Amino acid sequence: MNNFTQITRYTIRDQMRHKSFYVLLGISILLVLMIRGCYNSEYMVNGKALDSIAVAWHVSRIVFQVIAAGMFLTAALLSMSIFSRDHADGSLVIFLSRSVFRWQYVFGRIIGTWILCLVFMFILHSTIFLTVWTKTGVIISGYLSASLISSLNLLFIIACVCLLSLFIPDFISVIFTLGILLVGFVSDGGYQIVNSDMLKSITPAVVNADPALWRILYPKVFMVQTYAGSFITKSEFNNMGPFHPLLNLFFFILLLMTLMLIRFNKKEV
């Protein structure tokens, strides 16, 4: 366990040594702060002024999802060359030449990357949370809890990219993972739209058929994101199938990590 902790810390320090990391974080915070002007403006619709607090609340919901989507791509790019880079520069040999088990190396690299992405996303979400608080005096309860729930999606993406990178080129593994996310977003997003209160109020006669089995079992990245969003809106969450999306995604993360360890144990160093 001590080796696992050391590799996790090394992974975080290794990524933070790159200046591009701080540049990306600085630019991201700057972009988030640029929207604070939305909270000072007065918006008119049909000659009536909108409630500034309501505007701030809706803008915060949108920004929350935009930040999460940006972090999905960042996590995929950070994790795509973990194993290949260690193999190319000899770090893999140095790690495993010591009394380090292969599972400690694999899990340490994965968890270290995940913690770094988690903190990165939490800083950005905290920035918009504090901006709303200081500009409107409103505390959006559940905002930071939603950020922590959303971080489970980052772990799934990192595990998926790392597993695929053991079989196919790094960049293709990122494209393949994004394709998995896209299919889920279309399938689960369509389910959420069909079951939304707005659509039901417009077309009450629509009869919803049960989703196919593969859609119920498919990795629920979109559903976890929707579930996190329900913490902000305090709205009802429409789940697909009998399994909670957190349980579904936790299962797939365990499956990916297990397959990754099996594959890595057969890999020649």
pLDDT in tens, 148-185: 999 999 999 999 999 999 999 999 999 999 999 999 99
CB 140 within 8 A of CB 232: yes
- Residue 95: which pLDDT band, with cuts at 50, 70 and 90? confident
The angle that helices 52-79 and 221-233 make with each other, rounded to 10 degrees, is: 150
- Residue 44: which pLDDT band, with cuts at 50, 70 and 90? low
Residues with Cβ within 8 Å of 146's Cβ and at least 6 positions away in sequence, in order, are 64, 125, 228, 229, 231, 232
* pLDDT, mean of residues 10-31: 82
Q: What pLDDT is recorded for position 189?
A: 86
- Residue 47: which pLDDT band, with cuts at 50, 70 and 90? low
pTM recorded for the entire structure = 0.89
* pLDDT, mean of residues 52-68: 82
Q: Which neighbouring-strand residues pair with 80?
A: none
Average pLDDT of the chain is: 85
Task: Compute φ and ψ for 44, nearest 5 degrees.
Answer: -120, 130
Q: CA 53, CA 140: separation in Å to the nearest integer? A: 11
pLDDT score of 224 more than 90: yes
Q: What is the chain's alpha carbon radius of gyration, rounded to the nearest angstrom?
A: 21
* pLDDT, mean of residues 216-238: 89
pLDDT in tens, 113-149: 999 999 999 999 998 888 888 877 778 888 889 999 9
* pLDDT, mean of residues 180-204: 80
CB 261 within 8 A of CB 106: yes
* pLDDT, mean of residues 22-37: 79
* pLDDT, mean of residues 251-258: 96
Q: CA 75, CA 106: separation in Å to the nearest integer? A: 16
CB 5 within 8 A of CB 99: no
